[in-house]
Structure 1
Amino acid sequence: MLPHPEQQYLDLLRHILDHGDERMDRTGVGTKSVFGWMMRFDLGAGFPLMTTKRVYWKTCFREMLWFLTGGTNIRPLVAQGVKIWTDWPLKAYREATGDRITMEAFERRIVEEPDFAEKWGDLGPVYGKQWRRWLGPDGREHDQIAGLIQGIRTNPASRRLLFHAWNVAEVEGMALPPCHMVYQFHVARGRLSCLLYQRSADVLLGLPFNIAGASVLTHMLAQQTGLEPGELVWSGGDVHLYSNHFEQAELQLTRDPRPFPTLRLLRRPDSIDGYRIEDFEMSGYEPHAAIKAEVAV
């Protein structure tokens, strides 16, 4: 009997805990880190939403839909109750003003005060900007997602079916430089597969989201190009656990994986820009309880 595909993720947790290099990092929290890791998930055999702890897939999907709009301001996310990006602009606001505003009050102002959101809610030229509006040296903007879809449709054997977010000229202006930075796609036997390279992976909190996000993107791109979802191949560079996540990782390792759920797209929009959260139906997701952990900023 083949091992559950989630075992790859659990093996990574165990490997980092047992063999990771202890090092201080940018956040000051400290990590155990390993360099270089790969996992593979067959999207036709189930959606790789981790089951040894609950992953809030609608939050993840809303983030992916926001990336696809090309937006960089957290206001539309916060208005939907998605708070995963608030820490960075909140930190910048506190440092700039000395105001020790609570996260709840900050988010309320972001939603209710457009001028405040415009000034304090923008993350700089992060993912969406690079995916949909990469600025060339001649001043023209390049929509990498539109180009990718055209390439899959017209030249599916191409080795250039990719997009990335590490724009050297704009990295310094980003609240957080891109972690999941290169997505490459491959068409074979009517299936669309994705290889995601991630330069830095917060394995407890971020990685389950990153895997789910790349998987739903692959489902959408496959539907838009008349293909079936193939494999998600995930590869990481600096793959780490924060020191304040060790206990949570040990807890997760006591749990046995449950069957992966099934994702169904309820309609086919006219374009990649037409998807809404209501278009996704996840069935059979019965995970273990959520595990709380602090985000390192």
Structure 2
Amino acid sequence: MRLPEHQYLDLLAHVLENGDRRVDRTGVGTLSVFGAMCRFPLKDGQAPILTTKRVYWKTAVKEMLWFLTGGTSIQPLLRENVRIWTDWPLAKYRKATGEQISQADFEQRILDDDAFAAQWGELGPVYGKQWRKWLGADGKEYDQIAGVIEALKSNPASRRILFHGWNVPDIPDMALPPCHMVYQFHTTSDGRLNCMMFQRSCDILLGAPFNFTGAVALQLMLAQQAGFEPGEFIWAGGDVHLYLNHIEQAREQLTRTARPAPTMRLRRKAASIDEYTIDDFEVSGYDPHPPIRADVAV
């Protein structure tokens, strides 16, 4: 039986077999294809949390909740035991100071010392800043997420319900320019909310599974806040790549048999988009294969 996850596995195999070998920004090297799409139905609570390896879905959802705060420091993430953003400020600190501090020690200093965190734990004007506090040329801050919710409530047939993070003047100051950069929303006559997310750059082994999960968590929250049921999540990728040090891991994943997708639901309706917590999310029926370890390219 063809499961939605097979779209991802087919894409992974396509990149592995046909990807153009390229030297990339990180120096690691990639196999790259340009242009891809996957469509995931969210009917009956289905969620594209991959089963051919364990995806730590709580980490992905916590990251999305952090984006929604508008924050740009890794300190709140570390307090939630989320370490996926540490590599960039750690590399910056080591380069600036020459101190070869361990990741664990660096993270502990971020947690213990607010002044140190303010200096070395900042990522610049990354996702959350752009989503919630976009600084316009008029000097005003714009909350794109609030705008989406208002548009879904007041003009749900609009073709202009979207937000993005590609703020050109701010890009040089970002630890990492936005990869999942545009989210567009579409409502149906039977009361469903669809989401299309465009990802300009996609680490197919490590990034995509997290991005699928986080985006769907966001879609569930926005749907609930605006009075819709989740419809379909559509993912579109630009430069979709497999790092050369991930090849064996990809081959291993492709030997595994996909299992039925789990369900994700919200346990309650929060008073606003700002009041959801990780405890509001429930994932059921998740029966994945073991995790597959791979290094992040910085």
Regarding TM over 0.5, the answer is yes
Matches within 5 A, 1:245-264: 245-264=246-265
Q: Which runs of 5+ in 1 are unaligned?
A: none
Give yes or no for the alignment of 1:169 onto 2:182. no
Q: Secondary structure of 2:177's match?
A: coil
- How far has the Cα of 1:255 moved from its partner? 0.4
The equivalent of 1:225 in structure 2 is 226
Amino acid at match of 2:6: Q
Give yes or no for the alignment of 1:269 onto 2:276. no
Structure 1 Cα separation of the partners of residues 97 and 153 of structure 2: 50
The equivalent of 1:105 in structure 2 is 105
Structure 2 Cα separation of the partners of residues 17 and 147 of structure 1: 40
Structure 2 Cα separation of the partners of residues 186 and 5 of structure 1: 21
- How far has the Cα of 1:194 moved from its partner? 0.3
The equivalent of 2:39 in structure 1 is 40
- How far has the Cα of 1:91 moved from its partner? 0.2
Amino acid at match of 1:63: E
Q: Secondary structure of 1:200's match?
A: strand
Structure 2 Cα separation of the partners of residues 61 and 39 of structure 1: 20
Structure 1 Cα separation of the partners of residues 57 and 148 of structure 2: 25
Structure 2 Cα separation of the partners of residues 243 and 87 of structure 1: 19
**Count of residues paired in the alignment:** 296
The equivalent of 2:88 in structure 1 is 88
Q: Which runs of 4+ in 1 moved over 6 A?
A: none
Amino acid at match of 2:36: W
Using the aligned pairs only, state the percent identity. Answer: 64
Amino acid at match of 1:11: D
Give yes or no for the alignment of 1:11 onto 2:10. yes
- How far has the Cα of 1:44 moved from its partner? 1.2
The equivalent of 1:278 in structure 2 is 279
Structure 2 Cα separation of the partners of residues 141 and 44 of structure 1: 36
Q: Which runs of 5+ in 2 are unaligned?
A: none
The equivalent of 1:138 in structure 2 is 138
Amino acid at match of 1:16: V
- How far has the Cα of 1:80 moved from its partner? 1.1
The C-alpha deviation readout for 1:7-50, integer Å capped at 9, x for no partner, is: 00000111011100000000000000000000000011511100
Amino acid at match of 1:234: W
Amino acid at match of 2:214: G
TM, length-normalised to structure 2: 0.99
Structure 2 Cα separation of the partners of residues 69 and 44 of structure 1: 28
The C-alpha deviation readout for 1:254-292, integer Å capped at 9, x for no partner, is: 001011111121110110000001111111001000000
Structure 1 Cα separation of the partners of residues 250 and 213 of structure 2: 19
Q: Secondary structure of 2:169's match?
A: coil
Structure 2 Cα separation of the partners of residues 148 and 118 of structure 1: 31
Q: Secondary structure of 1:48's match?
A: coil
Q: Secondary structure of 1:230's match?
A: strand
- How far has the Cα of 1:53 moved from its partner? 0.2
Q: Secondary structure of 2:240's match?
A: strand
Structure 1 Cα separation of the partners of residues 235 and 85 of structure 2: 23
Matches within 5 A, 1:195-210: 195-210=196-211
Amino acid at match of 2:204: V
